[in-house]
Structures are given as structure tokens and as C-alpha cells.
Amino acid sequence: MQLTLTQEQVEEAIERSFESLRHQCHAASLALVRSGLLGDEARVARGVCPGVGGQHSWAVIGDPYDEAATIVDITAWSYDERRPRVWITSISEGVHRPHGYGMIWQSGKPFHTGGETIELAHPANLSPSARQFLAMVEPLDHRGWGMLANSAVLGWPAREIIEAMLDTKGLGPLVPIDIVGMLTDRNPDGLYR
């Protein structure tokens, strides 16, 4: 994390004062990402951060689940005055946790609950590792796919399988919007880039 930014640089880039960002974490983070100040790899991440009641948003450069990726949080100060106005950190510091962070089996193995079995639309297009993973958990019904869609994203080919779910009729709505926005290159409702 060699990035350094001042409050003045951020205010100029997003054309807003820090006082106007108070408790506006998602809007502020999206404005920062769209400003281009953080480069082409930046996106908004959503999750939890101690001191913030409820969910929180911040900007991240690169993969939101990469422990070394640079996080730029410009609103945490408005929830906890001890935080810097431009907080440059990473997941490895143990404070920011994006939704879906963690290893897959922490949330339990998804299973068929007795409903109609649903197959992905184009399983042949999946990589061998994705097909191998699915062989461990399939067959799945609607509720089983919902369990998988809400599992932690590390330790399995989550991006590839989530994208296949998004392209399969009836499974897309099961995937949380934050997982779509942070794990894939899709940008639901323009809220992540």
C-alpha cells in the first residue's frame, strides 16, 4: 500500500467536501471510484467495519477479497472520529470485511432440500476446477443454489460459478447484489463502478 492521498485531493476529485460525505459511505465511495483518482481497477466494496452501525461501503483497488488490496475509506471518520479522513488500509489489517469474505466451508456445505433439481445453463463452458467443485455439491435445487450463492467466496471457483448462476434462469435472483458487484465484472445498477 504505497498510495497516499490528501483530503484536498479527494475533495477536488469528487467535487464534494468531506462534511457533505458524513454517513454517505456508498455514495462517497462510488464518487471516488468514478472520479478515476484510484485508477481503472477500483470498485466499491460493501461489508462491515467496527464502529459503523450496519453495513458500510468503501473503495478498493483490485479484488475486494484480496487481503493485500488497497482500501480507501473516506467516510469511516463520520462514524468514529478517531479514524482518519482518508483511511488507506487493507483487509489484512483486520478491520474491513467485505460481504462474502471467508472460506466456503465455514458457512456449511450447500445441499439439495427436496425441491426440483436445477442444472446450470451451460455447464460445459465451466473450467475443470469449477466442474470438479460442482461434482462435490450437486445436485442442487432452488434452495440449495441459494445456499451456495450465499456462501463465503474464498476456497472455490466462486466467480465462475456465480456468473454461471447469473446466466441460468431462476438462479440469478438468489445471488446477493454485493457478491455480484464485488466478485464479477458486472455492475448491478451502476452501484459498484
pLDDT of 87-146, one tens digit each?
A: 999 999 999 999 999 999 887 899 999 999 999 999 889 999 999 999 999 999 999 999
Average pLDDT over residues 13-35: 96
What is the torsional sign of CA 75, 39, 3, 44?
A: positive
CA 129 to chain centre: 22
Do 104 and 158 touch, CB atoms closer than 8 A? yes
pLDDT for 142 equals: 97
23: left (phi over 0), alpha (psi -120 to 50) or beta: left
- The Cα 91–Cα 101 span in angstroms is 10
Q: What is the pLDDT of residues 60-73, one digit of tens each?
A: 999 999 999 999 99
- The Cα 77–Cα 44 span in angstroms is 17
pLDDT confidence band for 38 (50 / 70 / 90):
very high
- The Cα 39–Cα 63 span in angstroms is 13
Dihedrals phi, psi of 12, to nearest 5 degrees: -65, -40
Average pLDDT over residues 31-40: 98
Percentage of the chain exceeding pLDDT 70: 99
Q: How many CA atoms lie within 13 A of 115 on its CB side?
A: 11
pTM: 0.93
Average pLDDT over residues 160-164: 97
What are the boundaries of each domain within the chain? 7-98, 104-175
pLDDT for 108 equals: 85
pLDDT confidence band for 56 (50 / 70 / 90):
very high
pLDDT confidence band for 1 (50 / 70 / 90):
low
